[in-house]
Amino acid sequence: MKIFNDILSICTDVRAIAKGGQKSVSSANHPEFGKVVIKHGEYRSVDSIERIKREVEILKEINSNYYPKHFEFIIDAESREFLIIEECINGNELSNVSDQFKNESEILDLIRELVKGLYIIWSKNVIHRDIKPANILIKPDGTPTIIDLGIARFLDKSSLTRSIAARGPATPIYATPEQLLNRKPMIGVRTDFFLLGIVALELHHGFHPFDPRKVGNHSNIVDNILNGIYLAPNSSDDIFTGFIEGVINVEPFQRFRLPQDLANYLNIKL
């Protein structure tokens, strides 16, 4: 706890945000960086700290309003602790402000902004893999910030997931079939396309589109994702319907192929 306490001693207005597993998250006022988020925890293995290092490295490279700014990263090898200091984003989780996106046009505008933001990491051969409402913060002006690259896949680096693992890193109900089945060679930009589709449909319906209570079966969300069973959009907006049809498919090859293909369809300049 020493590195955490050392940082806290120079900060003011420290408030706990979340605690789970081996990591705690707090907000604070830092004398140099201003309003910050402090992530503190323990690491159990070389692979786990490598994931954290990769997340920090990509955030250090990015200078964009679509992502929080990275300020400091400290590792204490003796105590096996790490500490990350990032910009504190003035925003709300998407699920808490979903009423701001009431129709297909507003949802598509959000998706366009997310695609622009994600293209920044896609162009660096990084796949987010954990796009979900909790990882999208909506700022007061309505623009999104994308957070938590903790399970991002770096395509130019060796995989940290064992090939024999039954499931790849993911939030199961916001995951793709290839993640759930640990089909590592299939992970790519199309993985993030699928996740954007879940987010868009959840905003459209007001509930998870793979929810068995809504699709009318006795399965569960994960099995419905694996089998491609979801509630299609009830919409006369052909662009919105076409977007969903182009991203939510069990097989990645059935989705939009490249970021530019998706951008062209949505009329985005990357």
| pLDDT tens, position by position, 186-242 | 999 999 999 999 999 999 999 999 999 999 999 999 999 999 999 999 999 999 999
Identify the helix (H) or strand (E) that includes residue 144: strand 144-146
The answer to whether 258 and 189 are in contact (CB under 8 A) is yes
Q: What total number of domains does the chain contain?
A: 2
Query: Other C-beta atoms within 10 Å of 65: how many?
Result: 12
* CATH code of the domain in which 117 resides: 1.10.510.10
Does 165 have pLDDT greater than 80?
A: no
The pair of structure tokens assigned to 234 is 């009830």
Comparison of pLDDT for 160 and 175, the residue scoring more: 175
Instruction: Tell me: do 97 and 81 sit in the same domain.
Output: no
Question: Does the model's pTM come out above 0.85?
Answer: yes
The answer to whether 67 and 58 are in contact (CB under 8 A) is no
CA distance 182 to 70: 30
Instruction: Tell me: do 147 and 67 sit in the same domain.
Output: no
Instruction: Tell me: do 56 and 148 sit in the same domain.
Output: no
Instruction: Tell me: do 70 and 109 sit in the same domain.
Output: no
Query: What's residue 47's pLDDT?
Result: 81
What's the domain range around 214? Answer: 92-266
Angle subtended by helix axes 189-205 and 238-247, to nearest 10: 130
Does 263 have pLDDT greater than 90?
A: yes
CA distance 104 to 97: 16
What is the CA angle 180-182-183, rounded to 5? 115
Does 160 have pLDDT greater than 80?
A: no
